[in-house]
Amino acid sequence: MQSFKAQVMRFDIITLFPEMFDAVTKYGITSRAIDKKLYEVHCWNPRDYTTDVHKTVDDRPYGGGPGMVMLIEPLEKAILSAKAGNAGKVIHLSPVGKPLTHELALSLSKETGLILLASRYEGVDQRLIDAQVDEEISIGDYVLSGGELPAMVLMDAIIRLLPGALGDSDSAIEDSFVDGLLDCPHYTRPETYQEQSVPEVLLSGNHAKIKQWRLKQSLFKTMTKRADLLANRLLTKEESRLLLELDTELALMQEQDSYNEKV
């Protein structure tokens, strides 16, 4: 019977600082995943594609203003070199991009390869983005010194979803955001620490009750920390019931707090 080898995901990164990506390839889950040959990384430094003695990769912006803008030619040559071995999308990590979500990471994890443009300075000449970039992604509404950290965040979010990357295949399934809710609280040994005990239901061995408790805790955490996630969620009957319970319990707690203040 013929066996088929799993496709190795390929990341090609356009970056002025390739050594920064050791943080992904040499540590933790992503290091083990590369050892298992689940993915590979190739870095392309735009300075290697310059023609002047100073290896210039940026210049002042037309129209004036602060900062510098990355030049088209070195970046385009680096991208074209990457494309010779990678037919995947070219993604520019940028504050103007679409927000990175679990759903987006899951979708990208099914690609055979990605080319990540980690830009610096004030940005990239727009003509390069128009000609070579397929998609722009942001990891949040703030500005960093460069695209390397966002690229690593994106890579980590994708790599841990690759089959075989995690020691327990259920870990990725039970993470926050996978089902649209925040993760429930977790506990481990010792059973009691500084007079704080593990919830009894987790020690009961009753898996149905444990599952229900975890769902209720996820709903509570989502409701109190990220209510926006519930706004457009199509609730199951069980989720609706548990949310009503939580509303009642919270109202009783507020009444009790108010009573205690008066007393």
Residues 6+ apart with CB under 8 A from 152: 20, 21, 23, 24
Name the pairing type of β-strands 89-99 and 69-70. unpaired
Which DSSP string corresponds to 230-248? HHT----HHHHHHHHHHHH
Q: For each of the chain's 263 residues, which pLDDT tens digit applies?
A: 444 456 899 999 999 999 999 999 999 999 999 999 999 999 999 999 999 999 999 999 999 989 999 999 999 999 999 999 999 999 999 999 999 999 999 999 999 999 999 999 988 999 999 999 999 999 999 999 999 999 999 999 999 999 999 976 556 656 666 688 998 999 999 999 999 999 999 999 999 999 999 999 999 999 999 999 999 899 999 999 999 999 999 999 888 888 788 76
| Whole-angstrom distance, CA of residue 73 vs CA of residue 56 | 11
Residues 71/120, Cβ–Cβ less than 8 Å: no
Structure tokens of 36? 């298992």
Q: Which of 10, 74, 150, 160 is catalytic?
A: 160
To the query of whether residue 95 is one of the catalytic residues in this protein, the response is: yes
CA dist., res. 37 & res. 63, Å (int): 47
Query: Of the residues 111, 175, 179, 239, which is catalytic?
Result: 175
- Residue 99 bears catalytic tag: no
Catalytic annotation on 160?
yes
Catalytically annotated residue among 95, 174, 179, 226: 95
Q: Find the catalytic residue in 40, 111, 122, 136.
A: 122
* CA–CA separation, 157 and 105 (whole Å): 6
| 175 is a catalytic site residue | yes
Distance, in Å, from the CA atom of 166 to the CA atom of 156, rounded to the nearest integer, reads 12
